[in-house]
Structure 1
Amino acid sequence: MKENLLYLKEQIITYLGNKRSLLDFLSQGFVFAKEHLKKDKLSFCDIFSGSGIVSRFAKSHSNYILANDLEDYSRIINECYLSNLNDDLEKDIKYYYEKLLKNLELKEGFLAKLYAPKDDLNIKANERVFYTYKNACYLDSVRAKIENEIPQELKHFFIAPLIYEASVHSNTSGVFKGFYKGKDGIGKFGGEGQNALKRIKGEIELKMPIFSNFSCEFEVMQKDANMLAKELDFFDVAYLDPPYNQHPYSSNYFMLNLIANYKKPEEISKISGIPKDWNRSTFNKSKFAQDALFELINDLKARVILLSYNC
């Protein structure tokens, strides 16, 4: 059986350090581990899971996956895309997908109020311009309906694809520290050069989640990597890709967390509207990052460790 190619290509959030380009390297690592350990299927730990692409790739090679990340959006993404599809689950997702989009009325919520202009054709100096007004209202309306009408155990199957759409159709380069502006400093779709307007202004549309052709046990965790490493039992393979600069993912991708939780932030920064309560990692501090990495490698009980690091 071969993997669903769309599973490794579609519905993957726009992300700094996205590992799609490293999948060939990781494939070599899995081949080595299987030969070295004389196993056809491996237990795998993805300790900085982020977009979840590495854990997705690991499904065809694994009998157990643990995906970990500090961020709420990553947890929801992994809970969705690592799930094992069966007939009953597929039936439930299709039923609620149709229910979710039936008679959908677009209404303004806090995302539209805080992060989009009132009039896309007449943007004011004090307005944030992360999304078109219609797209922001779509995010608000669908996310609120998910919260109110979808059973708790199924919500991640709809929130995760919505997070993906929000990561793509944004007036940014992919990072939410700021939005594109014109030379006058006022928000402008595509910036002064009006670049990538098809992507930025393309209408957000919730899609059905994509699943692997393979099934395996999995667990999703949300802990500090170094603390988690001290708690874990043995794994065949662990993959490490720690943050590599001073810019925390929690603030870079705050918008994805807002959609994940859908709670209006109480206190935000003036310009970009970043909530004040974002996560901070030891790996974002240069004077601590090296020691933290060596400690992590020392504490991980893995037979094979795969490491990528952007120096």
Structure 2
Amino acid sequence: MNSESSVYHKRRHSARTTDEYLFNQLVPYLGNKRRLLHLILEALESTGTLNSKNGRSPIFADFFAGSGVVSRLARQNGYRVIANDWEPYSHALNSAILSCTEAPAFKELGGYQKAIDYLNRLPEVKGWVTHNLCPRNDEIYDPSRDRLFFKRRNGMRIDAIRQQIATWQAQGAIDDVEMSALLAPLLYSASFVSNTSGVFKSFHHGWGGKTQTALERIESLLWLTPSRFCPMGEPKKPAAEMWCVDAQHLANQMRTFEVDVAYLDPPYNQHAYSSNYHVLNALTLWDQVDLPTPDTKGFKSGIDRAWRKERPSQYNSSKYAKEAYEKLVATINARYILTSYSTDGNIEAADLLQANLKRGRVTLLTQDVPRYRVSKQRQSERARVLEFIVITDTHAKSGPPLRQLLGQLYHFAELGGVDTTGVSTQLALW
């Protein structure tokens, strides 16, 4: 795979319409690396593990898989993948798409396409989603007393489809991988038709928000299409090993063997993914928790207390992120450690680099990107931030000192990183 094929083009790689495995049905996601895949591929090339000729597939361990796009990149380039994320929705999104080289069999249901077709034809059902995440009336609603995550028809379609998947699972008609192959299109489609900016911590007060630019998307009919799969891998063997645990727990479990590449993309700021994507977790777990009404203090968006109080990562805290990262990097057993981070993150660049320098020689790749804004109407004093990849060779101990690394990093940050053509700059460190 050449670097050009990993460069994201908004129109050509629309998640809803593209057939390309790398970008097909990617959920809108905070910190999504789809625009930085060419940079990550460049980092992999610098390690020498890409297109390995030693007779075995190199192992790529993704500790914070999220949307799964970086693990897809690794799969597509011949790596055996270990993909982990402690959010249930991420596990559901990625299990089948990463571990299968072709569509699961669905023997009990006549094949994957027939299972998808059956779900699309189901009559609408008023269930948990309709009662908790939709208004009582699409035309006459009160945002202080109604949740407007979905139009009622789409809410009822989600209810019908999710309940049927649960029924098939209870009957033994589908296994865990087949369930993931059904949940992934449902989670993507639910995200697509949601009355949000891409995260579920809040909804638009009115369909499509003030500008109504997303109205066509929100009013479109929820419809499932099959996931795409990457044919690379050994026949009849899972192409990926899936985990759903805390990253530190995975590092502890993997201490007895060395992987070729460990990829770290921890949360940058205080916004917990468990809260931002609580609706996707609810659809994944289908525990149908009784939610207080929207006018109950603290429950306007319907975020269960468990997701708010029990699930935030240490990386969401400026107080604990540094210590958590230092411990993780010190524990990981990998030849190369690649860390994606930002000058906008909770961990200071000096602390992050110092943790990696303790493990080996460090080089950097950088690119400036637009700073995330919930709305285009909201302006920021810092319109752009510097995204960088720390490449650590744990077998090499000599390299540039921290002061030199910081000087060059801040130099590129001050200049705006790289030019706007999307071509990265590798820092000359010695």
Is the shorter-chain TM-score for this pair beyond 0.5, marking a shared fold? Answer: yes
2:143 is aligned with 1:111: no
| Larger RCO (alpha carbons 8 Å, 6+ apart) | 1
Aligned equivalent of 1:254: 278
Paired letter, 1:203: L
Q: Which amino acid aligns with 2:39?
A: F
1:25 maps to amino acid: L
In 2: Cα distance, 1:172 partner to 1:35 partner: 40
Residue 178 (structure 1) aligns with: 202
Q: Deviations over 1:97-127 (max 9, x none)?
A: 233334x110111111111112211112400
Structure 1 position 29 matched with structure 2 position 43 = yes
Paired position in structure 1 for 2:365: none
Contact (CA 8 Å) 1:47, 1:68: kept in 2 or not?
yes
Q: Which runs of 5+ in 2 are unaligned?
A: 6-17, 293-297, 345-430
Provide the secondary structure at the position in 1 that maps to 2:305: coil
Q: Is the 8 A contact 1:34 1:42 kept in 2?
A: no
- Among 41, 47, 58, the alignment partner of 2:57 is 41
SS at match of 1:283: helix
How many angstroms apart in 2 are the aligned matches of 1:257 and 1:87? 24
In structure 1, the partner of 2:408 is none
State the distance in 1 between where 2:123 and 2:182 align.
Answer: 17
Counterpart in the other structure of 1:198: 216
In the alignment, which residue of structure 1 is the partner of 2:162? 143
| Paired residues of 1:33 and 1:236 also in contact (CA < 8 A) | no
Aligned residue in 1 for 2:112:
93
**In 2, distance between residues paired with 1:108 and 1:48?**
35
Alignment gaps of 5+ in structure 1: 182-187
Aligned match of 2:319? 287
1:1-311 → structure 2 map (5 Å cutoff): 6-34=20-48, 39=54, 41-86=57-102, 89=105, 92-102=111-121, 104-124=122-142, 125-149=144-168, 150-153=173-176, 154-181=178-205, 188-215=206-233, 217-232=239-254, 233-267=257-291, 269-278=298-307, 279-310=311-342, 311=344
Which secondary structure state, in structure 1, belongs to the residue aligned with residue 279 of structure 2? helix
Assess if the C-alpha contact under 8 Å between 1:44 and 1:62 holds in 2: no
1:276 corresponds to which letter in structure 2? Answer: R
User: Helix, strand or coil: the match of 1:8?
Assistant: coil
More helix by percentage? 1
* RMSD of aligned residue pairs (Cα, Å): 2.2
8 A Cα contact 2:58 2:79, kept in partner = yes
Q: Distance in 2 between matches of 1:220 and 1:8?
A: 18
1:63, CA displacement in angstroms?
A: 4.1
Which protein has the larger Cα radius of gyration, Structure 1 or Structure 2? Answer: 2
The answer to whether the 8 A contact 2:259-2:335 is kept is: yes
Q: Distance between the aligned counterparts of 2:214 and 2:19, measured in 1? A: 26
Q: 1:301 to 1:5 in 2, by over 3 A?
A: farther
Kindly provide the amino acid, as one letter, of the partner of residue 85 in structure 1.
T
SS at match of 2:111: helix
Residues 304 and 107 of structure 1: CA distance in aligned 2, closer, same or farther (over 3 Å): same
Aligned to 1:184: none
Displacement of 1:5 in angstroms is 6.0
The CA deviation string for residues 227-248 of structure 1, in whole angstroms up to 9 with x for no partner, is 2212213110011110011111
Counterpart code for 2:31: G
Tell me by how many angstroms 1:95 deviates.
3.3
Structure 1 residue identity aligned to 2:92:
I
Instruction: Name the amino acid aligned to 2:153.
Output: K
1:168 maps to a residue whose letter is F
Does the 8 A contact of 1:247 with 1:284 survive in 2?
Answer: yes
Identity %: 36
Q: Which amino acid in the other structure matches residue 75 of structure 1?
A: H
Q: Aligned partners of 2:286 and 2:66: how far apart in 1?
A: 19
Whole-angstrom CA distance in 1 between matches of 2:95 and 2:45: 26
Q: How far apart, CA to CA, are the structure 1 residues paired with 2:264 and 2:76?
A: 19
